[in-house]
Amino acid sequence: MKLSYHLLLLALLQSSVNGNNSQQCVTSVDAANDYFPEKVQPTESEQWSIEYQNTYKVLTNSWANKTYLLYQCGTEPPQNENQYDAIFSVPVQGISLSSTPQVTFIELLNRRTSIAAWVGSFGFIHSPCLSKMIDDGDVATLQPDDGTNATLLTDSGLENTVFFAGGDTTYENEVQVHAYEENFNLATFEWVKFYSAFFNLEKEANEIFDATKTRYDCTVQNAGILSADQEKKPTVLWGSWCESCGGWFVAKSCPEYYCEFAESCGATLLTTEAGSVTTSWGVNYMTTEEFVEFGKDADHFIYTATDVLSTVYGTFKDDFANMKAVLNNEVYDTAGAGPNSWFEQRLAEPDAILQDFCTIVGTENPAVLHKLSFLRHVDDVVPVNGVCADIATQLEPLGTDCEALTDAPQEGNDAPADPAADEDTKEDSAPGAKFVLGMVGLLAAFLL
């Protein structure tokens, strides 16, 4: 994973040298010139679309029925301005975020330093660099109703900031983002292209998406080969305790992102709409007795929160003692990359989570070591948030490069023959080889 990813970084740096979509304002306008030679189009997503003209692009959030005009800085926007919900000169210089799932998309595009404001609570942010920026006062913290305070925005230098939101807000420069309304994992991740249009980073977004899709599709293909001859699919219990609801959440009917992970990995996910604990929002939860009965024979238990030790192995220890997954030590949670990483990064790292899931149920290519990234075995230590070494550094995804299988490996040939090669694989799959980053920086400096 490491080498190919840093080659991608190097390619992105080269792209900034060679041109592509401009990162500067145009000083002399040629109306016949296409100022967006690099373009994005959704190939998986169904909830957004984009149309290009020479000097502007029209981006539509279909789910919210919102349309945004993005015109190249230095050119004039078209005259029919009233038909758009917001108009922006691109590339935009400052943005505001309002929910943690937005963060990873921006960090993958290497535009963390463009974050000028955060709207709402910021206590659950996982990104150490964004947290540092907030702590240092480099990112303004606002409330949802501050959009009506023009003086505050002007005094904070935020009057031209793009406010990414998940619904209606009081901010004039609002852009609604609904990646979570897609039905499939790659469709959700493809919203990285939606974000990229505001920065003129279409080329980079296409490369990032294609690399993720390649790993994802390869993992699905391998799992299909490895599970083809299984007499019985492994079963997975997916759920967690909800204290405020007074019951247990369990996987609901498909389509849902977790259904896709299970199906792609050749596993059977236990799903139901049943549960005698009712709520005012229409979702049923299970009592402890119902949950244990429902999942007692599951081969694997993925606890979809971070309090597994205080619930499954604490308050409800006796209730869960005879469950198959507990007895066989096949219990996992979602704290593999840190307590808040799951909710912040899940939408933008589908390949890594798919590889986690397939590794747990035994359908990941055994010749390639994939270290669990977001899903964590309960015996492993919960990592603490790292320290931000460089705010300007691009986020590195946690997916492992996938080697495509043509046939299921023979028993006894599960690992690389060369122990040294195995060590190289381990090193490549673990996050954070800083010397490679240094080499990429050195090469980039040479090119520049």
Question: 292 and 197: one domain?
Answer: no
Nearest to 96 by CA among 71, 62, 130: 130
Question: 160 and 245: one domain?
Answer: no
248-279 confidence digits (pLDDT tens) = 999 998 989 999 999 999 999 999 999 999 99
Q: Is residue 268 situated within a structural domain? A: yes
Question: 241 and 371: one domain?
Answer: yes
- Examine the pLDDT at 360 and tell me if it is beyond 50: yes
- Which residue in this structure is represented by tokens 């002007």? 154
Q: Is residue 273 situated within a structural domain? A: yes
276-305 confidence digits (pLDDT tens) = 999 988 899 999 999 999 999 999 999 999
Q: Which of 209, 244, 269 is the last residue of a domain?
A: 209
- Distances in Å between the alpha carbon of 211 and those of 8, 90, 201, 202, 431? 9, 26, 16, 14, 17
Question: 161 and 245: one domain?
Answer: no
- Which pTM value belongs to this model? 0.86
As a whole number of angstroms, the distance between CA 222 and CA 407 comes to 9
- Find out whether 332 and 378 touch, Cβ atoms under 8 Å: yes
The HSE-up count of residue 165 (CA atoms within 13 Å, CB side) is 21
Question: 178 and 79: one domain?
Answer: yes
- Examine the pLDDT at 373 and tell me if it is beyond 80: yes
Question: Within a 10 A sphere around the Cβ of 11, how many other Cβ atoms?
Answer: 12
As a whole number of angstroms, the distance between CA 444 and CA 368 comes to 30
Both tokens of residue 179? Answer: 């990646």
- Whole-number CA gyration radius for the chain: 23
Question: 123 and 240: one domain?
Answer: no
Q: Which of 144, 175, 209 is the last residue of a domain?
A: 209
Question: 426 and 297: one domain?
Answer: yes
As a whole number of angstroms, the distance between CA 195 and CA 91 comes to 11
> Where residue 365 sits, what CATH number does that domain have?
3.40.50.1980
Q: Is residue 146 situated within a structural domain? A: yes
Q: Domain span at residue 174? A: 33-209
Both tokens of residue 38? Answer: 């690099």
What amino acid is encoded at 338 in this protein?
G
Question: 306 and 437: one domain?
Answer: yes
pLDDT at 448: 39
As a whole number of angstroms, the distance between CA 68 and CA 159 comes to 17
Q: Is residue 11 situated within a structural domain? A: no
Q: Is the peptide bond before 397 cis (omega within 30 degrees of 0)?
A: no
Question: 332 and 420: one domain?
Answer: yes
200-225 confidence digits (pLDDT tens) = 999 999 999 999 999 999 999 999 99
Q: Is residue 28 situated within a structural domain? A: no
As a whole number of angstroms, the distance between CA 322 and CA 362 comes to 23
Q: Is residue 12 situated within a structural domain? A: no
DSSP codes, 152-185: HHHHTT-TT-EEEESS--S-TTEEE--GGG-SSH
Percentage of the residues of the chain whose pLDDT score is greater than 70 = 87
Q: Which of 156, 174, 209 is the last residue of a domain?
A: 209
Question: 246 and 121: one domain?
Answer: no
First and final C-alpha spacing in the chain: 25
- Find out whether 203 and 20 touch, Cβ atoms under 8 Å: yes
Q: Please give the tally of structural domains in the chain.
A: 2
Question: 291 and 244: one domain?
Answer: yes
Q: Is residue 219 situated within a structural domain? A: no
- Find out whether 59 and 48 touch, Cβ atoms under 8 Å: yes
Both tokens of residue 44? Answer: 């998986």
Q: Is residue 14 situated within a structural domain? A: no
- What's the full length of the chain, in residues? 448
19-40 confidence digits (pLDDT tens) = 589 999 999 999 899 999 999 9
Question: 292 and 346: one domain?
Answer: yes
DSSP codes, 89-121: EES-S-EEE-STHHHHHHHHTT-GGGEEEEES-
